[in-house]
Amino acid sequence: MGEDRTGQIAVLFVSKRTDEDAAGYAAAADAMVALAAVQPGYRGIESQRGADGVGITISYWADDASAIAWRDHPEHAAIRAQGRARWYEWYEVIVTRVERGYRWRRA
């Protein structure tokens, strides 16, 4: 039903999108999801965005070193700069270690 994430690093990216360049944003977001997925220590990603433009993306990493390496990846840094310039009104990053968790799904 899902991976046990206990002990993983969760990077929460909470943001508010601008109305600018939706196609460019979508292409960049898809590229970053694909690039993250091939990084050492990558464990998964979940993302949602509301009609008001506020969204949350949670990426999961095996350890601090993996999460930091992703933060510092040159292509990720370049896209982050574009995001600040045109795609986001604001964002916040929260990094935490998963202590426990559970999932439920309607059968």
H-state helical runs in 38-85: 64-72, 74-82
| pLDDT 10s digits, 9-68 | 999 999 999 999 999 999 999 999 999 999 999 999 999 999 999 999 999 999 999 999
Query: At residue 55, what is the residue type?
Result: G
Q: Give pLDDT tens digits for 68-94.
A: 999 999 999 999 999 999 999 999 999
Q: Distance (Å, rounded) from C-alpha 27 to C-alpha 1? A: 30
pTM above 0.85, yes or no: yes
Q: Assess contact for 17 and 25: CB atoms under 8 A.
A: yes
